[in-house]
Structure formats: structure tokens, C-alpha cells
Amino acid sequence: MDPQCSVLIVQNQRTILKVQSQCESPFDVLDGANVDFLSEECNVYRVRISRPSSSSTTDTYVRVSTRSCSPRSLQHVEENGRRYCDQNYFMPNDDAELTRLNIVHQIYLILLEGRLTTAPIPTSSPRILDIGTGPGDWAIEMSTKYPEATIIASDIGVFDAGLGHMSLPNIDFQISDAETPWTYHEPFDLIHLRGLSGAFANWPRIYQQAYTHLKPGGYIEVADADPAGDTVLASPETAPHLCAYAAALRQAGDNCGHPRDLGHLRTEVLAEAGFEAIRAVERTFPVGLWPEDDDEKTIGKMALIAALEGLEAFALRPLTQSAGYSLDEARKLCGDVQTELLAPDQRLTGRIRIMTGRKPTSYAQRRSQVMARAMQKVKDLQGSLPVETDH
Ligand SMILES: C[S@@+](CC[C@H](N)C(=O)[O-])C[C@H]1O[C@@H](n2cnc3c(N)ncnc32)[C@H](O)[C@@H]1O
């Protein structure tokens, strides 16, 4: 097996689930084969594979795609006309959702004036981790912007036409559940989580893992715009259905233990995990065709399309599985919200919130940084002093 063209997908550190060949046929399943990890260098592993059907073993070099996936994450579930990556996560991962995520990614870019992140990237060849990468728009653009970067993009599922099907030189796509212990071997300069409200039962635990897997001085960035987190701003007088929809989604999230608010974007939660220099930025944008300014109208149109596309995506599973709605009732609520979103006199706005925090540098590192800055100042000062000449 050639390490350049094969990715081993492993369950529970032992059993091979799939061998993904990025050169030839997409999947060649080695059912039930066992794998022993022998050594590792630069993400290439020497492993010993033993197959149940044969007494022989094979030693080979491969890139290991994941060590924490379970078979459920690779089997799609069809439900109410949508495709989901498993039985648990509430959002679909079909083409309609892919398009919505593509649009949302563009909205983030516009609101951040073309920047992909608000966190400083401390080095020219950073190690970056994108948790819950989805189709991978953010990771793909980061890989172009930082060609020297090493990017790991992970998710519990694979979108058709998304990152899991592409081979890019500096991105390693991994199927991995972020709620299980993280097994990355080298620390990161930046860990990015976007659009993950409702994905996790225990955000503090996610932040703890991120903290552990960052280099000292590395950054975490968390961004979200979940309608259940009141990020579409509406009043009960003018948009009662929208407010009821957001409240029902929050209730469903609470009922199933995966909160759907923006509680994880409170600065205290990052501070409690040990992060420092915490900053939060918010951007408000129009939703709908009401702005007069052309640029605002463009964002408003994009946000409206994303909101309409997301209505059922955000709601069908949570409302039917965790809030006691029948499918018809859930669809009726989405239909009522759609009417409100499209009402010509609605002047709705949306909001994104982005929070960054830094893992403190160790005392020794901080001391040498202070010394380096002091030495630089001395040099600058010397440079600005008049040069002495002999008379
Ligand atoms: C709403 S999408 C956001 C995708 C991407 N971050 C973006 O901003 O375009 C959420 C993604 O998180 C993934 N996800 C949900 N639970 C996860 C978990 N426990 N571990 C890793 N990824 C998860 C989903 O499969 C989905 O692709």
C-alpha cells in the first residue's frame, strides 16, 4: 500500500473499517481486519494488518484517517425526505444542506471583509484543526491561503462533493467524533469550530480537549449563527411564528441534552477552560430584500435564501424526535415561518457571533518572548541614537 494514495479508516484503534484509496477505486473494505500501530512519523503510520480469513500479516505504511469513528458515521440515514449522516446529529448532510452551508460560508466571508478567521495565525506554516468541517469550505480556503499549513478537517459524516471526496495536498480529512477523546498527535496553532450549536452535549469538555491540543500561544475560534440562539432578530408582535420556531428548537435541544443556544459563545466558558485574551465579535446583517443599499440587499438576499433553505433542516429532526411534534405539525410551523420571512414588510436582521481565545504560553516561553521584545527595543533604540564619530 502506498502511503501517498491510501487512507486507513480505523475503528477503536484496532479494526479497519475501510481503506480509502485516493488514486483508484474509492473504497475497498477490509471487513474485520485488525490493525496494530507499530510506529508513526509525520502522520504516516507503520501498521501491521492481520485478516481473519488468513493467518498471514502484512506490514505496511499508511496515512490513518481516523481512530475514533464508528460504523454508524459512515452509513447515511434517510428520514422525511432528507439524508442524515447518522441517527443522532440533528442536521441533514444532503445536497440541499451542502448548498446552504456554501451560502453561509460566503456570508461569513462578506461580514468579515474577506477574512477567514479573526484569530492571529502565529506562524507561516501553522497546524490547523477544523472540527465539524462539513463540506469543508473554510478548511479548503484556509489551505489555499496558507499553502504551507497542515490542516486537519474532521467530521462525523461526509458530504457528497465535500472534503471527504477530495485530495488536497495540505488537508487531511478525518472521520472523527469530537465528543470522543481527541487523538491528535501534534498540537495545533488554531482550532476552529463553526456552526456547531446543538452538536455537542458538553461544550466545556470540547473546550478542554481543544486547550489540551493547542500549542501554548495557539488560538481557538468558535463561531455560530443558530436560529435557536436568537440570531435571527424578530419580535413576537411582527414574527410570532419565527419566535415560536426558535423557542421550540431550543426546547428540543434541551430535551435531548444538546443545547441549541449560544451558551457556548459566552466568554466565561472559554475563560473557565483556561483561555486568555478572549475576544468576541458580532456582526449584524439584513435578512430579506428590504435594504435599499445594493451591497446590503445582496447579503439580505443570501441570508434569506440560507434561512429558507435551513428552516426544515434545522427543525425536522429536533421537533419530531425531541419536542413531540408530528411531521405535519413540524412542516406547518416551518411553512408559517417561511411566510413570515417572505412578508414584504418584515425587516428582519440576523447576527453571527465569533469568539477567540488564546492558550497561555508557558512561563519560560513568555519570559523568552519578553526578553526578545526587550532586546529588540534596545536594538531599535541603538539604531536611533546618533552615530559617534572620531574627531
Ligand atoms: C452545521 S454544519 C457546519 C459545517 C462547517 N463547520 C461550516 O461552518 O460550514 C455542522 C457539522 O458538524 C458536524 N458534527 C456534528 N457533530 C459532530 C461531532 N460530534 N464531531 C464532529 N463533527 C460533528 C456535522 O456532521 C456537520 O457537518
Instruction: Give the predicted TM-score (pTM) of the model.
Output: 0.79
Q: Is the dihedral of CA 116, 121, 125, 126 positive or negative?
A: negative
C-alpha cell read off for 100: 446552504
* Among protein residues, the one whose CA lies closest to atom 23 of ligand 1: 132
Does ligand 1 have an atom closer than 6 angstroms to the CB of 108? no
CA distance 385 to 380: 9
Instruction: Report the sign of the C-alpha dihedral through residues 155, 159, 162, 167, in that order.
Output: positive
- Nearest residue to 189 (alpha-carbon basis) of 270, 142, 120, 137: 120
- Ligand 1 atom, smallest distance to 192 CA: 6
Which pLDDT belongs to residue 235? 85
What's the whole-number mean pLDDT along residues 183-203? 96
Segment 350-370, tens digit of pLDDT: 999 999 999 998 765 667 667
Q: Ligand 1, from 89, 90, 151: best to mutate by most atoms within 8 Å of Cβ?
A: 89
Does residue 194's CB lie within 6 angstroms of at least one atom of ligand 1? yes
Determine contact, residues 156/89, Cβ cutoff 8 Å: yes
Q: How far is CA 24 from CA 5, 19, 20, 166, 300, in A?
A: 9, 11, 9, 13, 43
User: Which residue segments constitute the domains of the chain, with CATH numbers given?
Assistant: 6-69 (no CATH), 72-364 (3.40.50.150)
Mean pLDDT of 52-60: 65
| Mean pLDDT in residue range 204-211 | 97
**CA angle centred on 320, ends 314 and 325, rounded to 5°:** 110
Neighbours of 62 (CB within 10 A): 21
* C-alpha dist (Å) from residue 126 to 173, 186, 207, 208, 260: 16, 12, 20, 21, 32
Q: Which pLDDT tens digit goes with each residue over 256-304? A: 999 999 999 999 999 999 999 999 999 999 999 999 999 999 999 999 9
Task: Enumerate residues 6+ apart whose C-beta is below 8 A from 113.
Answer: none
Q: Any idea which residue has 473557565 for its cell?
A: 272
Q: How far apart are CA 349 and CA 227, in angstroms?
A: 11
pLDDT digits (tens, 9 = 90+) for 148-160: 999 999 999 999 8
Distance 290 CA to ligand 1 centre (A): 31
Does ligand 1 have an atom closer than 6 angstroms to the CB of 137?
Answer: yes
Distance 42 CA to ligand 1 centre (A): 26
How far is Cα 247 from Cα 38, in angstroms, rounded to an integer? 51
Kindly state if the Cβ of 258 falls inside 6 Å of ligand 1: no
Outline where 166-293 has alpha helix (H). 203-212, 240-255, 267-272
CA dihedral 204, 210, 216, 222 (to 10 degrees): -80
What is d(CA 98, CA 328) in angstroms, rounded to the nearest whole number? 24
37 and 20 in contact (C-beta within 8 Å)? no
> What's the mean pLDDT in 136-156?
95
Query: Identity (one letter) of the amino acid at 15?
Result: T
**What is the enclosing helix (H) or strand (E) of 311?**
helix 294-322
197 Ramachandran zone, left/alpha/beta (phi>0; psi -120 to 50)? beta
Ligand 1 neighbour 226 (Cβ under 6 A): no
Amino acid present at 305 = I
For 368, the enclosing helix (H) or strand (E) is: helix 363-384
Rounded to the nearest integer, the mean pLDDT of the chain is 85
Please check the confidence at residue 43 and state whether its pLDDT lies above 60: no
Name the more confident of 28 and 204.
Answer: 204
Say how far apart CA 60 and CA 47 lie, in whole Å: 6
Do the bridges between strand 171-175 and strand 127-131 make them parallel or antiparallel, or are there none, so unpaired? unpaired
With a 6 A CB cut-off, is 357 part of the ligand 1 pocket?
Answer: no
Per the CB < 8 A criterion, the answer to whether 214 and 220 are in contact is yes
Residue 16 Cα, ligand 1 centroid: separation in angstroms?
24
137 CA: nearest ligand 1 atom: 9
Of 165 and 141, the structure prediction assigns the larger pLDDT to 141
Mutate-to-test residue for ligand 1 from 67, 68, 156, highest number of ligand atoms within 8 A of CB: 156
Tell me the C-alpha distance between 152 and 38, whole Å: 22
Single-letter amino acid code for the residue at 172: D
Q: Is the CB of 313 under 6 A from ligand 1?
A: no
**Which residue would you say has higher pLDDT here, 220 or 55?**
220
Confirm or reject: Cβ of 310 under 6 Å from ligand 1. Answer: no
Residue 196 in contact with ligand 1 by CB distance below 6 A: yes
Distance 260 CA to ligand 1 centre (A): 14
Separation between Cα atoms, residue 199 and residue 176, nearest integer Å: 13
Q: How close is the Cα of 378 to the center of ligand 1, in Å?
A: 48
pLDDT value at position 79?
95
Specify the ligand 1 atom closest to the Cα of 178: 20
